[in-house]
Protein backbone atom coordinates (compact mmCIF):
# COMPACT_ATOMS: atom_id res chain seq x y z
CA UNK A 1 0.00 0.00 0.00
CA UNK A 2 1.31 3.44 -0.83
CA UNK A 3 2.16 5.64 2.15
CA UNK A 4 -0.39 8.38 1.39
CA UNK A 5 -3.26 5.86 1.14
CA UNK A 6 -2.31 4.28 4.43
CA UNK A 7 -2.13 7.70 6.06
CA UNK A 8 -5.54 8.64 4.69
CA UNK A 9 -7.09 5.55 6.27
CA UNK A 10 -5.38 6.14 9.62
CA UNK A 11 -6.41 9.76 9.74
CA UNK A 12 -10.02 8.81 8.99
CA UNK A 13 -9.99 6.36 11.92
CA UNK A 14 -8.48 9.03 14.14
CA UNK A 15 -11.14 11.55 13.12
CA UNK A 16 -13.89 9.09 14.03
CA UNK A 17 -12.26 8.59 17.41
CA UNK A 18 -12.10 12.30 18.02
CA UNK A 19 -15.81 12.69 17.16
CA UNK A 20 -16.58 9.93 19.64
CA UNK A 21 -14.62 11.70 22.35
CA UNK A 22 -16.32 15.01 21.57
CA UNK A 23 -19.77 13.39 21.94
CA UNK A 24 -19.08 12.10 25.42
CA UNK A 25 -20.71 13.75 28.39
CA UNK A 26 -18.98 16.94 29.45
CA UNK A 27 -17.89 15.60 32.83
CA UNK A 28 -16.24 12.60 31.11
CA UNK A 29 -14.49 14.66 28.41
CA UNK A 30 -10.86 13.84 27.68
CA UNK A 31 -8.64 16.86 27.14
CA UNK A 32 -6.43 15.77 24.27
CA UNK A 33 -2.94 17.25 23.99
CA UNK A 34 -2.09 19.40 21.00
CA UNK A 35 -0.20 17.47 18.34
CA UNK A 36 2.48 19.01 16.11
CA UNK A 37 2.08 18.80 12.34
CA UNK A 38 3.71 15.66 11.00
CA UNK A 39 3.17 13.48 14.06
CA UNK A 40 0.17 11.56 12.74
CA UNK A 41 1.90 10.86 9.43
CA UNK A 42 5.01 9.55 11.20
CA UNK A 43 2.87 7.47 13.57
CA UNK A 44 1.11 5.89 10.60
CA UNK A 45 4.46 5.05 9.01
CA UNK A 46 5.66 3.52 12.29
CA UNK A 47 2.51 1.42 12.71
CA UNK A 48 2.90 0.18 9.13
CA UNK A 49 6.45 -0.93 9.89
CA UNK A 50 8.03 1.36 7.28
CA UNK A 51 11.83 1.22 7.39
CA UNK A 52 13.56 4.55 8.08
CA UNK A 53 16.12 5.75 5.50
CA UNK A 54 17.06 9.39 6.13
CA UNK A 55 15.98 12.83 7.31
CA UNK A 56 16.72 16.04 5.43
CA UNK A 57 16.47 19.56 6.84
CA UNK A 58 15.81 22.41 4.41
CA UNK A 59 12.94 24.52 5.72
CA UNK A 60 10.56 21.60 5.31
CA UNK A 61 11.80 18.52 7.14
CA UNK A 62 11.61 15.46 4.91
CA UNK A 63 11.70 12.00 6.48
CA UNK A 64 12.32 9.24 3.94
CA UNK A 65 11.16 5.65 4.30
CA UNK A 66 11.47 2.68 1.96
CA UNK A 67 7.76 3.09 1.19
CA UNK A 68 7.56 6.86 0.76
CA UNK A 69 8.23 10.17 2.50
CA UNK A 70 6.71 12.39 5.18
CA UNK A 71 7.12 16.17 4.80
CA UNK A 72 6.87 18.30 7.94
CA UNK A 73 6.33 22.08 7.65
CA UNK A 74 8.68 24.51 9.45
CA UNK A 75 6.12 25.11 12.21
CA UNK A 76 5.50 21.38 12.69
CA UNK A 77 7.23 18.60 14.61
CA UNK A 78 10.84 19.42 15.51
CA UNK A 79 13.31 16.57 15.01
CA UNK A 80 16.76 17.11 16.54
CA UNK A 81 19.75 15.99 14.47
CA UNK A 82 21.86 13.85 16.84
CA UNK A 83 24.03 12.15 14.24
CA UNK A 84 27.13 13.77 15.75
CA UNK A 85 25.96 14.79 19.23
CA UNK A 86 24.15 13.36 22.23
CA UNK A 87 20.34 13.31 22.38
CA UNK A 88 18.65 15.05 25.27
CA UNK A 89 17.80 13.12 28.44
CA UNK A 90 14.05 12.44 28.78
CA UNK A 91 12.72 11.98 32.32
CA UNK A 92 9.44 12.32 34.21
CA UNK A 93 8.94 14.79 37.05
CA UNK A 94 7.04 12.84 39.75
CA UNK A 95 5.79 16.02 41.44
CA UNK A 96 3.65 17.35 38.59
CA UNK A 97 3.61 14.43 36.11
CA UNK A 98 5.34 16.49 33.46
CA UNK A 99 8.07 15.39 31.07
CA UNK A 100 11.54 16.93 31.43
CA UNK A 101 14.32 17.36 28.87
CA UNK A 102 17.80 17.44 30.44
CA UNK A 103 16.08 18.02 33.78
CA UNK A 104 14.07 21.04 32.56
CA UNK A 105 10.26 20.92 32.41
CA UNK A 106 9.14 20.58 28.78
CA UNK A 107 5.54 21.72 29.23
CA UNK A 108 4.23 18.33 28.03
CA UNK A 109 2.21 16.38 30.59
CA UNK A 110 2.28 12.63 31.11
CA UNK A 111 -0.84 11.06 29.53
CA UNK A 112 -0.64 7.51 30.82
CA UNK A 113 -3.74 5.94 29.28
CA UNK A 114 -4.00 7.75 25.95
CA UNK A 115 -3.48 5.62 22.84
CA UNK A 116 -0.57 6.61 20.62
CA UNK A 117 -2.96 8.26 18.14
CA UNK A 118 -4.14 10.74 20.79
CA UNK A 119 -0.82 11.38 22.55
CA UNK A 120 1.65 14.09 21.58
CA UNK A 121 5.40 14.26 21.08
CA UNK A 122 7.73 14.97 23.99
CA UNK A 123 10.97 14.76 22.02
CA UNK A 124 12.08 13.54 18.59
CA UNK A 125 15.60 12.96 17.29
CA UNK A 126 17.60 11.05 14.70
CA UNK A 127 20.88 9.23 15.36
CA UNK A 128 23.19 7.79 12.67
CA UNK A 129 20.75 4.91 12.11
CA UNK A 130 17.12 5.81 12.74
CA UNK A 131 14.38 8.09 14.08
CA UNK A 132 13.15 8.06 17.69
CA UNK A 133 9.92 9.59 19.03
CA UNK A 134 9.24 9.94 22.77
CA UNK A 135 5.50 10.47 23.18
CA UNK A 136 3.46 11.72 26.11
CA UNK A 137 1.94 8.37 27.14
CA UNK A 138 5.43 7.07 27.92
CA UNK A 139 5.94 5.04 24.75
CA UNK A 140 9.10 5.35 22.66
CA UNK A 141 8.74 4.80 18.91
CA UNK A 142 12.08 3.52 17.55
CA UNK A 143 11.63 3.21 13.79
CA UNK A 144 12.91 0.06 12.07
CA UNK A 145 16.02 0.63 9.95
CA UNK A 146 18.61 -1.16 7.82
CA UNK A 147 20.52 -3.14 10.46
CA UNK A 148 23.32 -3.85 8.00
CA UNK A 149 24.46 -0.30 8.76
CA UNK A 150 25.30 -1.31 12.32
CA UNK A 151 28.89 -2.28 13.12
CA UNK A 152 29.39 -6.00 13.56
CA UNK A 153 29.00 -7.41 17.02
CA UNK A 154 32.13 -6.87 19.08
CA UNK A 155 32.97 -9.31 21.83
CA UNK A 156 34.79 -7.57 24.63
CA UNK A 157 37.99 -9.09 26.00
CA UNK A 158 37.53 -11.18 29.13
CA UNK A 159 39.96 -11.39 32.06
CA UNK A 160 39.80 -14.46 34.29
CA UNK A 161 41.73 -14.24 37.55
CA UNK A 162 42.21 -17.07 39.99
CA UNK A 163 43.98 -16.77 43.31
CA UNK A 164 44.61 -18.83 46.42
CA UNK A 165 41.38 -17.84 48.11
CA UNK A 166 43.05 -15.58 50.63
CA UNK A 167 41.09 -12.37 51.15
CA UNK A 168 42.31 -9.63 48.84
CA UNK A 169 43.33 -6.46 50.69
CA UNK A 170 45.12 -3.26 49.74
CA UNK A 171 48.05 -4.06 51.98
CA UNK A 172 49.58 -7.21 50.48
CA UNK A 173 49.63 -9.05 47.15
CA UNK A 174 48.00 -12.47 46.78
CA UNK A 175 49.48 -15.06 44.40
CA UNK A 176 47.41 -16.23 41.45
CA UNK A 177 47.11 -16.49 37.69
CA UNK A 178 45.49 -14.47 34.91
CA UNK A 179 44.00 -15.46 31.56
CA UNK A 180 43.05 -12.81 29.01
CA UNK A 181 40.72 -13.79 26.17
CA UNK A 182 40.44 -11.61 23.05
CA UNK A 183 38.13 -13.74 20.85
CA UNK A 184 37.91 -11.23 17.98
CA UNK A 185 41.67 -10.56 18.02
CA UNK A 186 40.73 -6.91 18.36
CA UNK A 187 43.92 -6.04 20.21
CA UNK A 188 46.02 -9.20 20.31
CA UNK A 189 47.69 -11.61 17.92
CA UNK A 190 46.49 -14.58 19.99
CA UNK A 191 42.95 -15.27 21.19
CA UNK A 192 44.15 -16.19 24.69
CA UNK A 193 47.06 -15.38 27.00
CA UNK A 194 47.85 -16.80 30.45
CA UNK A 195 50.47 -15.97 33.05
CA UNK A 196 51.16 -16.05 36.76
CA UNK A 197 50.51 -12.82 38.63
CA UNK A 198 49.89 -11.23 42.00
CA UNK A 199 46.82 -9.17 42.88
CA UNK A 200 45.84 -6.70 45.60
CA UNK A 201 43.22 -4.04 46.17
CA UNK A 202 43.72 -0.36 45.34
CA UNK A 203 42.00 3.00 45.61
CA UNK A 204 40.78 5.07 48.53
CA UNK A 205 37.04 5.83 48.49
CA UNK A 206 36.57 3.34 45.62
CA UNK A 207 37.90 0.47 47.75
CA UNK A 208 34.94 0.93 50.13
CA UNK A 209 32.46 0.27 47.29
CA UNK A 210 31.00 -3.20 46.62
CA UNK A 211 32.66 -3.57 43.20
CA UNK A 212 36.36 -3.49 44.00
CA UNK A 213 39.28 -2.05 42.00
CA UNK A 214 42.52 -4.05 41.80
CA UNK A 215 46.20 -3.78 41.02
CA UNK A 216 47.92 -6.61 39.14
CA UNK A 217 51.64 -7.36 39.04
CA UNK A 218 53.02 -9.77 36.43
CA UNK A 219 56.30 -11.63 36.73
CA UNK A 220 57.79 -9.84 33.73
CA UNK A 221 57.03 -6.98 31.36
CA UNK A 222 54.17 -8.12 29.14
CA UNK A 223 52.03 -6.39 26.52
CA UNK A 224 48.35 -6.83 27.37
CA UNK A 225 45.70 -6.26 24.69
CA UNK A 226 48.11 -4.31 22.50
CA UNK A 227 49.31 -1.90 25.19
CA UNK A 228 53.04 -1.37 25.89
CA UNK A 229 54.69 -4.16 27.86
CA UNK A 230 54.81 -3.72 31.62
CA UNK A 231 54.55 -5.65 34.88
CA UNK A 232 52.09 -3.31 36.61
CA UNK A 233 48.44 -2.97 35.62
CA UNK A 234 45.26 -1.58 37.16
CA UNK A 235 41.63 -2.74 36.96
CA UNK A 236 39.33 0.25 37.53
CA UNK A 237 35.84 -0.76 38.71
CA UNK A 238 33.93 2.49 37.93
CA UNK A 239 31.18 1.46 40.36
CA UNK A 240 29.83 5.00 40.87
CA UNK A 241 30.10 5.79 37.15
CA UNK A 242 27.05 4.05 35.74
CA UNK A 243 27.99 5.04 32.19
CA UNK A 244 31.19 2.99 32.65
CA UNK A 245 32.74 5.55 30.29
CA UNK A 246 33.96 8.64 32.13
CA UNK A 247 37.58 7.52 32.40
CA UNK A 248 37.52 6.52 28.72
CA UNK A 249 36.44 9.91 27.45
CA UNK A 250 38.70 11.76 29.89
CA UNK A 251 41.69 9.91 28.48
CA UNK A 252 40.52 10.76 24.96
CA UNK A 253 40.37 14.44 25.96
CA UNK A 254 43.86 14.08 27.48
CA UNK A 255 45.16 12.61 24.23
CA UNK A 256 43.62 15.46 22.22
CA UNK A 257 45.06 18.06 24.59
CA UNK A 258 48.52 16.57 24.19
CA UNK A 259 49.62 15.85 27.74
CA UNK A 260 53.04 14.22 27.84
CA UNK A 261 51.54 10.84 28.74
CA UNK A 262 48.00 9.54 28.50
CA UNK A 263 47.50 6.11 30.12
CA UNK A 264 46.12 3.57 27.67
CA UNK A 265 43.16 1.40 28.66
CA UNK A 266 40.82 -1.32 27.40
CA UNK A 267 37.26 -2.16 28.44
CA UNK A 268 37.11 -5.75 29.70
CA UNK A 269 34.84 -8.12 31.60
CA UNK A 270 36.34 -9.67 34.72
CA UNK A 271 35.84 -13.01 36.47
CA UNK A 272 37.42 -13.53 39.89
CA UNK A 273 37.75 -17.17 40.94
CA UNK A 274 34.96 -17.96 38.48
CA UNK A 275 32.62 -15.26 39.81
CA UNK A 276 31.53 -12.57 37.34
CA UNK A 277 32.59 -9.09 38.54
CA UNK A 278 31.40 -6.90 35.67
CA UNK A 279 32.90 -4.39 33.24
CA UNK A 280 36.28 -2.88 34.17
CA UNK A 281 38.94 -0.65 32.63
CA UNK A 282 42.27 -2.43 32.28
CA UNK A 283 44.69 0.51 32.51
CA UNK A 284 48.42 1.14 32.46
CA UNK A 285 49.52 1.89 36.01
CA UNK A 286 50.96 5.33 36.75
CA UNK A 287 54.69 5.07 37.43
CA UNK A 288 58.12 6.09 36.20
CA UNK A 289 59.04 4.23 32.99
CA UNK A 290 60.29 5.18 29.54
CA UNK A 291 56.82 4.68 28.02
CA UNK A 292 54.99 6.29 30.95
CA UNK A 293 56.45 9.02 33.18
CA UNK A 294 59.79 9.33 31.43
CA UNK A 295 62.17 11.01 33.88
CA UNK A 296 65.67 10.32 35.19
CA UNK A 297 66.65 8.53 38.38
CA UNK A 298 67.31 11.79 40.21
CA UNK A 299 64.21 13.56 38.92
CA UNK A 300 60.99 13.77 40.94
CA UNK A 301 57.52 12.41 40.19
CA UNK A 302 55.06 14.33 42.38
CA UNK A 303 51.41 13.87 43.28
CA UNK A 304 48.81 16.25 44.63
CA UNK A 305 46.88 14.18 47.19
CA UNK A 306 45.06 15.58 50.21
CA UNK A 307 45.12 12.19 51.97
CA UNK A 308 48.90 11.81 52.19
CA UNK A 309 50.09 8.21 51.79
CA UNK A 310 53.78 8.81 50.99
CA UNK A 311 56.42 9.58 53.66
CA UNK A 312 57.70 12.75 51.95
CA UNK A 313 54.89 15.29 51.79
CA UNK A 314 53.92 18.85 52.69
CA UNK A 315 51.18 21.42 52.16
CA UNK A 316 52.03 24.77 50.58
CA UNK A 317 50.96 28.11 52.11
CA UNK A 318 48.10 28.13 49.57
CA UNK A 319 46.95 24.67 50.70
CA UNK A 320 48.20 22.59 47.77
CA UNK A 321 49.09 19.08 49.06
CA UNK A 322 52.31 17.70 47.52
CA UNK A 323 53.90 14.29 48.01
CA UNK A 324 56.78 12.44 46.32
CA UNK A 325 55.79 9.25 44.50
CA UNK A 326 59.24 8.54 43.08
CA UNK A 327 62.11 8.18 43.77
CA UNK A 328 61.39 6.32 46.98
CA UNK A 329 64.93 6.89 48.26
CA UNK A 330 65.04 10.67 47.88
CA UNK A 331 67.48 12.16 50.39
CA UNK A 332 66.45 14.84 52.89
CA UNK A 333 68.71 17.30 51.07
CA UNK A 334 67.06 16.62 47.70
CA UNK A 335 63.61 16.69 49.27
CA UNK A 336 64.34 20.12 50.73
CA UNK A 337 65.36 21.36 47.27
CA UNK A 338 62.03 20.15 45.87
CA UNK A 339 60.05 21.83 48.65
CA UNK A 340 62.00 25.06 48.24
CA UNK A 341 61.43 25.07 44.48
CA UNK A 342 57.67 24.71 44.85
CA UNK A 343 57.53 27.31 47.62
CA UNK A 344 59.56 29.75 45.52
CA UNK A 345 57.20 29.18 42.58
CA UNK A 346 54.16 29.84 44.74
CA UNK A 347 55.76 32.97 46.17
CA UNK A 348 56.49 34.23 42.65
CA UNK A 349 52.95 33.37 41.52
CA UNK A 350 51.31 35.36 44.30
CA UNK A 351 53.93 38.11 44.36
CA UNK A 352 53.66 41.63 42.92
CA UNK A 353 55.74 40.77 39.83
CA UNK A 354 53.90 37.54 38.98
CA UNK A 355 53.37 38.51 35.32
CA UNK A 356 57.05 39.25 34.74
CA UNK A 357 58.55 36.47 32.57
CA UNK A 358 61.77 36.51 34.62
CA UNK A 359 60.62 37.35 38.15
CA UNK A 360 57.17 35.79 37.95
CA UNK A 361 55.61 32.33 37.73
CA UNK A 362 56.74 31.63 34.14
CA UNK A 363 60.31 31.19 35.32
CA UNK A 364 59.23 28.21 37.45
CA UNK A 365 56.64 26.22 35.48
CA UNK A 366 56.08 24.70 32.06
CA UNK A 367 53.19 27.03 31.20
CA UNK A 368 51.97 24.92 28.25
CA UNK A 369 51.60 21.83 30.47
CA UNK A 370 49.65 23.86 33.03
CA UNK A 371 47.31 25.00 30.25
CA UNK A 372 46.76 21.48 28.87
CA UNK A 373 46.09 20.12 32.37
CA UNK A 374 43.67 22.99 32.99
CA UNK A 375 41.66 22.33 29.84
CA UNK A 376 41.23 18.61 30.62
CA UNK A 377 40.18 19.31 34.20
CA UNK A 378 37.88 22.23 33.41
CA UNK A 379 36.16 20.59 30.44
CA UNK A 380 35.48 17.47 32.53
CA UNK A 381 34.49 19.62 35.55
CA UNK A 382 36.53 17.18 37.62
CA UNK A 383 35.60 17.55 41.30
CA UNK A 384 39.11 16.38 42.29
CA UNK A 385 40.95 18.48 39.70
CA UNK A 386 41.23 21.70 41.71
CA UNK A 387 44.80 20.80 42.80
CA UNK A 388 43.35 18.70 45.61
CA UNK A 389 44.11 15.15 44.49
CA UNK A 390 44.84 12.86 41.52
CA UNK A 391 47.10 15.46 39.85
CA UNK A 392 50.62 14.48 38.80
CA UNK A 393 53.68 16.60 38.09
CA UNK A 394 57.37 16.13 37.40
CA UNK A 395 60.37 18.20 38.41
CA UNK A 396 63.46 17.32 36.39
CA UNK A 397 66.97 18.50 37.03
CA UNK A 398 67.41 21.79 35.20
CA UNK A 399 63.76 21.89 34.09
CA UNK A 400 60.56 23.50 35.30
CA UNK A 401 57.57 22.15 37.21
CA UNK A 402 55.50 20.23 34.67
CA UNK A 403 51.95 18.78 34.73
CA UNK A 404 52.66 15.37 33.19
CA UNK A 405 49.44 13.35 33.11
CA UNK A 406 45.90 13.07 34.48
CA UNK A 407 44.08 10.26 36.29
CA UNK A 408 40.80 9.25 37.92
CA UNK A 409 37.65 10.72 36.34
CA UNK A 410 34.83 8.49 37.57
CA UNK A 411 33.36 11.49 39.44
CA UNK A 412 33.82 13.96 36.55
CA UNK A 413 31.45 15.01 33.75
CA UNK A 414 28.45 15.67 35.99
CA UNK A 415 28.83 12.77 38.43
CA UNK A 416 29.54 14.56 41.73
CA UNK A 417 26.76 16.15 43.77
CA UNK A 418 28.89 18.03 46.31
CA UNK A 419 30.29 21.05 44.47
CA UNK A 420 30.64 23.88 47.01
CA UNK A 421 28.29 26.26 45.19
CA UNK A 422 25.76 23.55 44.37
CA UNK A 423 26.41 23.94 40.64
CA UNK A 424 26.71 20.31 39.57
CA UNK A 425 25.67 21.06 35.99
CA UNK A 426 27.64 21.67 32.80
CA UNK A 427 28.01 25.45 33.22
CA UNK A 428 30.16 27.55 35.53
CA UNK A 429 33.88 27.80 36.17
CA UNK A 430 35.45 25.28 38.53
CA UNK A 431 39.22 24.85 38.16
CA UNK A 432 39.65 28.50 37.15
CA UNK A 433 38.02 29.91 40.27
CA UNK A 434 38.39 27.37 43.07
CA UNK A 435 41.48 26.31 45.00
CA UNK A 436 42.26 23.02 46.74
CA UNK A 437 40.01 23.83 49.71
CA UNK A 438 37.10 24.49 47.31
CA UNK A 439 37.04 28.18 48.26
CA UNK A 440 36.12 30.59 45.49
CA UNK A 441 38.79 32.95 44.11
CA UNK A 442 41.72 30.98 45.45
CA UNK A 443 44.32 28.61 44.08
CA UNK A 444 47.07 28.57 41.48
CA UNK A 445 44.81 28.71 38.44
CA UNK A 446 42.75 31.59 39.79
CA UNK A 447 45.95 33.60 40.08
CA UNK A 448 47.23 32.50 36.66
CA UNK A 449 44.02 33.75 35.03
CA UNK A 450 44.78 37.22 36.39
CA UNK A 451 47.64 37.41 33.87
CA UNK A 452 46.35 38.55 30.44
CA UNK A 453 49.23 36.72 28.73
CA UNK A 454 48.18 33.42 30.34
CA UNK A 455 44.55 34.01 29.32
CA UNK A 456 45.59 34.63 25.71
CA UNK A 457 47.57 31.39 25.65
CA UNK A 458 44.62 29.44 27.07
CA UNK A 459 42.28 30.90 24.45
CA UNK A 460 44.72 30.19 21.62
CA UNK A 461 45.21 26.61 22.81
CA UNK A 462 41.46 26.05 23.12
CA UNK A 463 40.85 27.44 19.65
CA UNK A 464 43.39 25.00 18.22
CA UNK A 465 41.96 21.99 20.09
CA UNK A 466 38.23 22.72 19.82
CA UNK A 467 37.57 21.06 16.43
CA UNK A 468 38.95 17.72 17.64
CA UNK A 469 37.19 18.04 21.00
CA UNK A 470 33.88 18.03 19.11
CA UNK A 471 34.64 14.43 18.01
CA UNK A 472 34.48 13.03 21.55
CA UNK A 473 30.70 12.25 21.41
CA UNK A 474 31.33 10.07 18.35
CA UNK A 475 34.21 8.40 20.22
CA UNK A 476 31.84 7.67 23.11
CA UNK A 477 29.15 6.27 20.81
CA UNK A 478 31.65 3.89 19.23
CA UNK A 479 33.03 2.75 22.59
CA UNK A 480 29.53 2.03 23.91
CA UNK A 481 28.58 0.07 20.77
CA UNK A 482 31.72 -2.02 21.07
CA UNK A 483 30.70 -3.09 24.59
CA UNK A 484 27.63 -4.79 23.14
CA UNK A 485 25.51 -6.31 25.89
CA UNK A 486 28.32 -6.30 28.48
CA UNK A 487 26.75 -3.34 30.38
CA UNK A 488 23.55 -5.39 30.78
CA UNK A 489 25.58 -8.16 32.41
CA UNK A 490 27.40 -5.65 34.59
CA UNK A 491 24.15 -4.18 35.92
CA UNK A 492 22.61 -7.59 36.40
CA UNK A 493 25.57 -8.29 38.70
CA UNK A 494 25.36 -4.82 40.29
CA UNK A 495 21.67 -3.82 40.30
CA UNK A 496 22.17 -0.09 40.91
CA UNK A 497 20.67 1.71 37.91
CA UNK A 498 17.55 2.67 39.90
CA UNK A 499 19.27 3.68 43.15
CA UNK A 500 21.52 6.50 44.31
CA UNK A 501 25.19 5.63 44.54
CA UNK A 502 27.43 8.26 46.13
CA UNK A 503 27.91 10.86 44.70
CA UNK A 504 25.60 10.57 41.66
CA UNK A 505 23.91 13.77 40.47
CA UNK A 506 21.16 11.86 38.65
CA UNK A 507 19.52 8.44 38.88
CA UNK A 508 18.31 7.80 35.33
CA UNK A 509 17.07 4.21 35.68
CA UNK A 510 18.70 2.73 32.57
CA UNK A 511 22.12 2.31 31.01
CA UNK A 512 21.09 4.05 27.79
CA UNK A 513 19.96 7.08 29.77
CA UNK A 514 23.23 7.11 31.75
CA UNK A 515 25.13 7.33 28.47
CA UNK A 516 22.72 9.95 27.12
CA UNK A 517 23.21 12.04 30.28
CA UNK A 518 27.00 11.83 29.89
CA UNK A 519 26.77 12.77 26.21
CA UNK A 520 24.51 15.70 27.02
CA UNK A 521 26.77 16.93 29.82
CA UNK A 522 29.85 16.79 27.61
CA UNK A 523 28.31 18.60 24.63
CA UNK A 524 26.74 21.29 26.81
CA UNK A 525 29.96 21.76 28.80
CA UNK A 526 31.97 21.99 25.57
CA UNK A 527 29.60 24.64 24.20
CA UNK A 528 29.61 26.61 27.46
CA UNK A 529 33.41 26.63 27.65
CA UNK A 530 33.73 27.65 24.02
CA UNK A 531 31.47 30.65 24.58
CA UNK A 532 32.88 31.54 28.00
CA UNK A 533 36.56 31.37 27.06
CA UNK A 534 35.84 33.59 24.06
CA UNK A 535 34.39 36.13 26.47
CA UNK A 536 37.45 36.35 28.73
Res 11: pLDDT: 44
Res 148: pLDDT: 67
Rounded CA gap, 141 and 131, in Å? 8
What are the DSSP calls for 432-494, one per residue?
TTB-TT--BT-SHHHHHTTSHHHHHHHHHHHHHHHHHHTTHHHHHHHHHHHHTTHHHHHHHHS
Res 203: pLDDT: 87
pLDDT in tens, 320-354: 999 999 999 999 999 999 999 999 999 999 999 99
Res 455: pLDDT: 99
pLDDT in tens, 143-157: 988 876 665 556 899
Res 228: pLDDT: 96
**Element spanning 293, H or E:** none
What is the rounded end-to-end Cα distance, in angstroms, of the chain? 60
What are the DSSP calls for 380-416, one per residue?
HT-TTTTTTEEEEEEE-TTS-EEEEEE---TT-SS--
pLDDT in tens, 30-75: 578 899 999 999 999 999 999 999 898 877 899 999 888 999 999 9
Other Cβ atoms closer than 10 A to 95? 7
- Closest C-alpha among 261, 325, 321, 332 to residue 299: 325
Rounded CA gap, 337 and 322, in Å? 14
Other Cβ atoms closer than 10 A to 423? 12
Q: Give yes or no for a contact between 385 and 391, defined as CB atoms under 8 angstroms apart.
A: yes
| Sheet with 104-109: strands ordered across | 90-93, 98-101, 104-109
Ordered per-residue pLDDT tens for the chain, 536 residues: 344 444 444 444 444 344 334 444 333 455 788 999 999 999 999 999 999 998 988 778 999 998 889 999 999 999 999 887 778 888 888 888 899 998 899 999 998 889 999 999 999 999 888 999 999 999 999 998 887 666 555 689 999 999 987 789 999 999 999 999 998 888 988 899 999 999 999 988 899 999 999 999 999 999 999 999 999 999 999 999 999 999 999 999 999 999 999 999 999 999 999 899 999 999 999 999 999 999 999 899 999 999 999 999 999 999 999 999 999 999 999 999 999 999 999 999 999 999 999 999 999 999 999 999 999 999 999 999 999 999 999 999 999 999 999 999 999 999 999 999 888 999 999 999 998 888 888 999 999 999 999 999 999 999 999 999 999 999 999 999 999 999 999 999 999 999 999 999 999 999 999 999 999 999 999 999 999 999 99
Rounded CA gap, 389 and 148, in Å? 46
- Closest C-alpha among 255, 485, 322, 518 to residue 410: 518
Res 397: pLDDT: 93
Amino acid sequence: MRLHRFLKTCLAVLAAGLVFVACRKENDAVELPKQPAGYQELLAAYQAGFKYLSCDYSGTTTVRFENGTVSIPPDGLKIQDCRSCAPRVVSLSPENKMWCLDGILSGVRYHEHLPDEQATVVYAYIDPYTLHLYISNGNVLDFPFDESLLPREFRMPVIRITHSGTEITREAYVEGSITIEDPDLAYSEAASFSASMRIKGRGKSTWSMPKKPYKIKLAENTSLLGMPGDKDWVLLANYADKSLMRNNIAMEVSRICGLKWTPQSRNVEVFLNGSYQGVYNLVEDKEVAKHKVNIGKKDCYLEMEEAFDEPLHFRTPHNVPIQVKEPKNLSEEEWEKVRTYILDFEEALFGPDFTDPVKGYAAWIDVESFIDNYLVRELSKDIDGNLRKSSFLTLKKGSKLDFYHVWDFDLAFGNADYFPDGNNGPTGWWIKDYGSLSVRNTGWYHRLFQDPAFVRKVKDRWKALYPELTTVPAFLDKAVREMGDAPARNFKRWDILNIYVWPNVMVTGSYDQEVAYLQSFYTRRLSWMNDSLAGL
